[in-house]
Amino acid sequence: MLAATRAVTSGYATGPVRVTEGGSRVTRATMSGVTAAIPPALTLVLGDEELLSARAIAQTVHAARAADPGSDVREYEGGALVPGEVAEMLSPSLFGGRRVLVLRAGQDARKDMITTLLAYAKNPDPEVHLIVAHLGGAKGKALADGLKSAGATVLAVPKMKGARERVAFVREEIRRLNGSCTEDAATGLLDAVGNDLRELAAACSQLMADTDGRITAETVARYYKGRAEVSGFTVADAAIVGDVPGALEALRWALHVGVDPVPIADALADGVRTVARVASAGRGSAYQLASSLGMPAWKIERAQRQSRGWSPDGLVDAMQAAADCNAAVKGGAEDRGYALERAVVAVATARRAGGGR
């Protein structure tokens, strides 16, 4: 029953509930658009995007609070729940009034707990709002499925995949804060801040606080310099097109943020290999080449653009440099960073020189 001490009772509170999402300023803004309709008795927040999940819970809680300011809000952890507690949390309150029960990490709930919860879900108490957060995986699937079939309102918060979705998220976020954001500004922000939604949301609200609300690429460039997420592929892409300053900058960033030299060296070799194979395959549609080269079409398209300016001799030199670099980062060199820099320069030089012989 000690676990129950984690529960937050904030029946009298006037401000937002204890939900952190990248700064409290955001929280207040988030709540602005919520209607005061009474939320359903059963809500299932399904998905593994943490920020969105937290937001969905906060909105539901807020709606319940709006309907009855005296609501009693309690939070539980799925894994720490014990049977007695469930009975207590679901039983009618002695003093009456609405109650909001938030069960976080519902996928961790034990089997007997799930049975109890589902038995309750068949005949829910209209005075109680039960909000269950679930990651949506195979773990604890019975709870999610049972709640769904019991007629719970499902709020889907799946993980965002791909840059396009994140760009849309950033733009939507700025719009929600009554600003406007261009597409390239959103891309720039993603490059600078990274893919973490919390960080992105915080960055958006910060930008809105600092500017007049019209976010352009220049605005982002003024406030955010450098890159948060540089991988070996960024380095390789720049080196392959002969952009020595860009490649060296990316390499320094990558080493600075803690990318291991070995994957960078592998990415460099992979870049040269891809260009060499695509260049030697001749002209043709990327989709036709995709099956014969065993590569995705987008990769081939990019390599076709990159392969301009490469000669076969240059490719031989570049591959040799990549192989030497691979040995160097695995203990062959004193300074792995220097070995990588040399390889980057060698690859870029091989492209320009087109091979000595």
- Does position 239 interact with other proteins (CB under 8 A)? The reply is no
- Does position 67 interact with other proteins (CB under 8 A)? The reply is no
The alpha carbon of residue 74 and the mean position of all alpha carbons in its chain are separated, in whole angstroms, by: 28
CA distances from 269 to 125, 318, 330 (A): 63, 8, 14
Three-state secondary structure of 309-320: CCCHHHHHHHHH
- Tell me the closest approach of the beta carbon of residue 273 to other proteins, in angstroms: 6
Sheet holding 99-104, edge to edge: 72-77, 99-104, 128-134, 42-46, 153-156
Q: How far apart are CA 33 and CA 55, in angstroms?
A: 13
Which stretch in 24-32, 91-99, 122-130, 319-327 sits in contact with other proteins by CB under 8 A?
Answer: 319-327
Residue in 105, 319, 339, 344 binding other proteins, rule: CB under 8 A: 319
DSSP-based three-state secondary structure for 54:
helix
Residue 229 contacts residue 194 (beta carbons within 8 Å): yes
Task: Kindly determine how many residues on this chain lie close enough to bind other proteins according to the rule CB under 8 A.
Answer: 22
- Does position 288 interact with other proteins (CB under 8 A)? The reply is no
CA distances from 291 to 136, 201, 267, 288 (A): 34, 40, 22, 7
- Does position 7 interact with other proteins (CB under 8 A)? The reply is no
- Does position 74 interact with other proteins (CB under 8 A)? The reply is no
Of 259 and 269, which has the nearer Cβ to other proteins?
269
- Does position 244 interact with other proteins (CB under 8 A)? The reply is no
Please give the structure tokens belonging to residue 299.
Answer: 């990769």
- Does position 180 interact with other proteins (CB under 8 A)? The reply is no
- Does position 357 interact with other proteins (CB under 8 A)? The reply is yes
Please give the structure tokens belonging to residue 19.
Answer: 């939900």
List binders of other proteins among 111-170 (CB under 8 A). none
Residue 267: which of 278, 254, 249 has the closest Cα? Answer: 254
Of 256 and 330, which has the nearer Cβ to other proteins?
330
Residue 41 contacts residue 129 (beta carbons within 8 Å): yes
- Does position 219 interact with other proteins (CB under 8 A)? The reply is no
- Does position 280 interact with other proteins (CB under 8 A)? The reply is yes
Residue 237 contacts residue 266 (beta carbons within 8 Å): no
- Does position 174 interact with other proteins (CB under 8 A)? The reply is no
- Does position 266 interact with other proteins (CB under 8 A)? The reply is yes
- Tell me the closest approach of the beta carbon of residue 311 to other proteins, in angstroms: 10
Of 205 and 307, which has the nearer Cβ to other proteins?
307
- Does position 332 interact with other proteins (CB under 8 A)? The reply is yes
Q: Which residue has the tokens 């980062």?
A: 329
Residue in 215, 267, 315, 346 binding other proteins, rule: CB under 8 A: 315
Single-letter code of the amino acid located at 334:
E
CA quadruple 235, 236, 237, 240: dihedral sign:
positive
Q: Centre a 10 Å sphere on the Cβ of residue 32 and count the other Cβ atoms it contains.
A: 9
Residue in 277, 304, 339, 341 binding other proteins, rule: CB under 8 A: 277
Which stretch in 105-113, 183-191, 228-236, 276-284 sits in contact with other proteins by CB under 8 A?
Answer: 276-284
Q: Which residues would be at the binding site for other proteins (CB under 8 A)?
A: 266, 269, 273, 276-277, 279-281, 312-313, 315-316, 319-320, 322-323, 326-327, 330-332, 357
